Amino acid sequence: MKNFENKTVLITGGSSGIGLALGKQFASKGAHVWILARRKNLLKSAQKEIRQCCLSPNQNIEIISADVSKYDELKIALQSFIKEKGVPDILINSAGISYPGTFLNLDRKIFDDTININYLGTVYPTKIIAPEMVKQGHGHIVNLSSLAAIVGIYGYSAYAPSKYAVRGFSRVLRAELNPHGVSVSIVYPPDTDTPQLAFENKIKPEITKAITQGGGLLSADKVASDIIRGIEKDKFTIIPGLEGKLLVAFAPIIGRILYHSSVKKAKQNIKNN
């Protein structure tokens, strides 16, 4: 898709972080933007920011308050919106959470919430929107995974599997929807300067901090621009930033290095305590 003018883009998790950055950049290219999230106050604030980036006063910047992990609630909200506004040309599944911690110490509910929002929160909007895209014969679905789905990282036993699931889902979805004229992309962002990362940094295990420092940090705007460039080129795999591309290219080697580094640091911690 080369031209986004007058196209409609629906972004889950669009009230902050990468989702908000995407909304602003799509608006600057003339697109109509719908952002979906749970909290209305954040949605309204994000809506104002996105409107300031519009090319034309005729662009529609809409908000939808819904929880991506609650299918029935989400279906009612989206079907009502589609009936009034039409089917989006692009769906970006950006909603997600991360709660780092060691497996032995994480509460079971963290695993439930992470799978429900990161994985099912990707499946559910797609389940509602994809059939409509198929009916109209075109569309593009973009799922945000993570570099944690390429290389397992100490401290992300809840988060990484949820993003591995998004990776597998996207590969199958691509094969099934391509014959219907619907494109699918998967994005592997590195650490990105967002409110979510700020929260993570407060609670990360020390070992996780040690092995992830120096891994590169991108702005949400940079990640968003790389995603849009990937959509323009109809790429399936979108990897923002050089560090991410290198990690993917040398994943087996880097994975072994991270594993041995983690084990060494963990054993030292156990010995010291």
Which domains, ranges and CATH numbers included, belong to the chain? 8-272 (3.40.50.720)
Active site residue 145: yes
Rounded average pLDDT over 155-178:
97
Q: Which residue in 119, 124, 156, 159 is the catalytic one?
A: 159
Q: Which residue in 145, 146, 170, 262 is the catalytic one?
A: 145
Active site residue 163: yes
Res. 260 pLDDT band, cuts 50 70 90: low
Dump pLDDT digits (tens) for 187-207: 999 889 898 889 988 988 888
pLDDT computed for residue 41 by the predictor = 95
Res. 267 pLDDT band, cuts 50 70 90: confident
What are the residues whose beta carbons fall under 8 Å from the beta carbon of 178, sequence distance 6 or more?
A: 184
Per the structure block, which two tokens stand in for 125?
């909007």
Res. 5 pLDDT band, cuts 50 70 90: very high
Specify the higher pLDDT residue, 264 or 51: 51
Res. 54 pLDDT band, cuts 50 70 90: very high
Q: Which residue in 24, 69, 162, 163 is the catalytic one?
A: 163
pTM of the model: 0.92
Res. 82 pLDDT band, cuts 50 70 90: very high
Active site residue 124: no
Dump pLDDT digits (tens) for 210-237: 877 766 789 999 999 999 999 999 999 9
pLDDT computed for residue 20 by the predictor = 98
